């Protein structure tokens, strides 16, 4: 039976906050400062975590659809991305969102991001098909350490403090401990995790480059969501067509059970909302912090998987996952090197 596609959203990330002189929230990245008001950050993080956990669970249910002729994985993702693209444009038509004209810098920047975005979506789908939810989450939980290095090398952030570095290392160690408890590791070895490793590499690039886009182009949140989905849609469509996932699309839609139709519809709405929440968070915090947010909120997803799905980790594995999330919560966002230099330099009187 064909299985349905998933998007971890290809938008997932983790916890951290900064503070600054309070100011009214803005729908545009351009009007937000690097250090956002604490309440604004908390709202963005909570909203993102809710969407992320919900979407991963819904997509896992979609992959195991109950219809006699379910939509193929690629077709499900195409539906979700098409819905998000249309929804963003509809909001702009209703003057509920600001979306500007397409320009060369936007297409070039978001085009490259869309390639990584599509790759991470597809890799997440395959990873969820080859492994359980917890295995996927642990690989996701290991990304902050790599993103922290990219943050320091390319995004102008200071190196993590000793406490934060210990937090990132402990997160990775706990993730490794989980892998050792997974029976699939003994059956298939590292070959069984090939899609997880590919997802790991793509999400690290996506997190870092996405933060660069918010700083360089400074677009509105909904425009960022629209550009991501608009440029990703033809890539996903081509991929789904090449794999034969769009064969019998119309007949599968007509034969879809009411329950699967509801899951597909709700997952499409949540996929749109997670795009907004993700770009909102990305504009407020560092790439490493954003990566950690997606890690910390996954405990709720694990609890849902244990309660409702028949494929989940052993008690030892869940304990390792909890340790992984607990370790990630101890991370503190590193300041920009420019801010550190400015604060440490003596005042010059004219």
Residue 13, pLDDT > 60, answer no
> Tens digit of pLDDT for each residue in 259-281?
888 999 999 999 999 999 999 98
> Which of 10-24, 147-161, 242-256 shows the lowest mean pLDDT across its residues?
10-24
Q: What is the 3-state secondary structure (H, E, C) of the chain?
A: CCCCCCCCCCCCCECCCCCCCCCCCCCEHHHCCCCCCHHHHHHHHHHHHHHHHHHHHHHHHHHCCCCCCCCCHHHHHHHHHHHHHHHHHHHHHCCCCCCCCCCHHHHHHHHHHHHHHHHHHHHHHHHHHHCCHHHHHHHHHCHHHHHHHHHHHHCCECCCCHHHHHHHHHHHHHHHHHHHHCHHHHHHHHHHHHHHHHHHHHHHHHHHHHHHHHHHCCCEHHHHHHHHHHHHHHHHHHHHHHCCCCCCHHHHHHHCCHHHHHHHHHHHHHHHHHHHHHHHHHHHCCHHHHHHHHHHCHHHHHHHHHHHCCCCCCHHHHHHHHHHHHHHCCCCCCCEHHHHHHHHCCCCCC
> Tens digit of pLDDT for each residue in 182-219?
655 544 556 567 888 888 899 999 989 988 898 888 89
Instruction: Give the separation between CA 305 and CA 44, rounded to whole angstroms.
Output: 25
Q: Where are the domains of the chain?
A: 33-337
pLDDT band at 93 (very low <50, low <70, confident <90, very high): very high
Residue 1, pLDDT > 50, answer no
pTM exceeding 0.85: no
pLDDT band at 307 (very low <50, low <70, confident <90, very high): low
> Tens digit of pLDDT for each residue in 43-63?
888 898 888 778 877 877 776
């Amino acid at each position: 039976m064909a299985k349905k596609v998933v998007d971890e959203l290809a938008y997932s990330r983790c916890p951290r906050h900064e503070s600054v002189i309070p100011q009214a929230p803005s729908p545009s990245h351009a009007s937000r400062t690097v250090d956002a008001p604490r309440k604004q950050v908390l709202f963005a993080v909570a909203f993102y975590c809710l969407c992320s956990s919900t979407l991963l669970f819904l997509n896992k249910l979609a992959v195991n659809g109950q219809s006699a002729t379910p939509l193929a994985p690629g077709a499900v993702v195409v539906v979700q991305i098409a819905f998000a693209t249309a929804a963003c444009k509809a909001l702009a038509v209703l003057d509920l969102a600001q979306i500007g004209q397409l320009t060369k810098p936007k297409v070039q920047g978001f085009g490259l991001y869309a390639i990584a975005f599509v790759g991470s979506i597809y890799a997440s789908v395959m990873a969820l098909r080859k492994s359980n939810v917890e295995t996927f989450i642990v690989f996701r939980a290991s990304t902050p350490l790599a993103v922290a290095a990219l943050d320091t090398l390319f995004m102008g952030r200071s190196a993590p403090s000793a406490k934060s570095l210990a937090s990132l290392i402990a997160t990775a160690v706990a993730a490794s401990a989980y892998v050792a408890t997974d029976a699939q590791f003994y059956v298939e070895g590292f070959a069984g995790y090939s899609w997880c490793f590919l997802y790991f590499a793509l999400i690290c690039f996506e997190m870092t480059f996405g933060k660069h886009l918010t700083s360089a182009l400074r677009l509105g949140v909904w425009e960022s969501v629209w550009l991501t989905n608009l440029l990703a849609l033809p890539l996903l469509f081509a991929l789904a067509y090449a794999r034969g996932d769009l064969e019998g699309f119309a007949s599968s839609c007509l034969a879809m059970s009411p329950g699967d139709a509801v899951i597909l519809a709700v997952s499409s709405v949540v996929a749109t909302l997670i795009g907004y929440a993700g770009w909102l968070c990305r504009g407020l915090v560092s790439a490493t912090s954003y990566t950690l947010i997606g890690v910390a909120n996954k405990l709720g997803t694990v609890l849902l998987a244990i309660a409702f799905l028949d494929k989940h980790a052993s008690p030892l594995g869940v304990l390792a996952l909890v340790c992984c999330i607990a370790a990630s919560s101890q991370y503190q966002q590193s300041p920009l090197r420019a801010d550190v230099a400015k604060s440490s330099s003596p005042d010059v009187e004219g």
